[in-house]
Amino acid sequence: MISTGDWCLIESDPGVFTELISGMGCRGVQMEEIYSLEPEFTADLGPIYGLIFLFKWQNKRSAENTHIPEANDFSDHVFFANQVINNACATQAILSILLNRDDIDIGEELRNFKAFTADFPPEMKGLAISNSDVIRTMHNSFARSDPFVNDMVDPNAGKDQDVYHFIAFTPVNDAVYELDGLSNGPVNLGPCDENNWITKANEAIKRRMEAYGEAELHFSLMALIRDKVEQMEEQIEEADAILLSLPEDDVEARSRVIQDRSMYEQILEQEKDKRKKWHRENVLRKHNFIPLIYNLLRNLAEKGQLDDLIKTAKEKAVNRRQQ
């Protein structure tokens, strides 16, 4: 059971992040996992409001990663919160984007939170996040119902324990920022506009990946984008309006629009199916399967079938190792 002072680990998954964002009251956005920031891979995403990057966290900077930038901008117009509680980095990375964008409907709760913390220093903003019932409850709704899992991970844990960390990138007032709750403050990566900020963020992400060397393979990248369902519904409405305006004898133009409309409908259905899949996976994440497993094993043992199944499983495991 998660107490009021504890925050669970959050899986790096677009379905988890999208439900988390929605649960905090935001509308019209979703998370999408991406594998490249090159234009040919991001062109179909629509507006990108921010990026969230996951990597293996290291407590000390080595000679190889000294080119990772330090905090260099403490402007009041940038919402920046220090991370003051373990495991909150995923939600803090999300908030670093949401609370720095004026073109997202963040909902009443987060609007009030942003206004309330506007004049707070970074550490106080972090404390305000950790004490927000709405934010903490939604975050902890993804806690595993497993009494044998220790969800809390200390960033100062032993050297053999892998700890992963989320940071955010987003443009604010014509500059792109790296926002890391474990840093002293925001990192200004240089001037930008809505058309080129992705390029600057991509350069910073590549530098950070290179700093960890070839052995570090545990990276992931997600983009906060406009809701794809809404995007496709608007595209279909626009196609319908164009069809109404085209003369019946303009067969070629009408054919192109009908073809585009069909494509939008197909994407819309794919997105709706994806949402259903995300919801089902999130339900399974939160479900406690231990009673089911316990009763299944007990019934097999009572029927005298468990020993044979264990023996067969061991033999299969040996065969797999040999192969």
Domain boundaries defined on the chain: 14-226, 228-286, 290-322
Catalytic one of 8, 26, 89, 192: 89
Single-letter code of the amino acid located at 106: I
pTM of the model: 0.81
How far is Cα 231 from Cα 102, in angstroms, rounded to an integer?
19
287 is catalytic: no
**32-58 mean pLDDT:** 88
77 is an active site residue: no
Between CA 319 and CA 323 the distance in angstroms is 6
Q: CB-hemisphere CA count at 13 Å for 109?
A: 16
- Which residues is 27 bridged to in the sheet? 105
What residues pair up with 221 in beta bridges, in sequence order?
34, 53
What single-letter DSSP state applies at residue 246?
A: S
* CA within 13 Å, CB half, 216: 18
Secondary structure element (H or E) that encloses residue 93, with its range: helix 89-98
Rounded mean pLDDT, 297-308: 82
Of 230 and 323, which is predicted with more confidence? Answer: 230
Name the catalytic one among 8, 26, 139, 165: 165
Choices 3.40.50.2300, 3.40.532.10, 3.50.50.60, 3.40.640.10: CATH for 14-226: 3.40.532.10
85 pLDDT more than 70: yes
- pLDDT given for residue 268 in this prediction: 97
- Helix (H) / strand (E) element for 170: namely strand 164-172
More confident residue, 75 or 157: 75
Q: How far apart are CA 186 and CA 79, in angstroms?
A: 9
Q: Compute the distance between CA of residue 70 and CA of residue 78 in angstroms, rounded to an integer.
A: 16
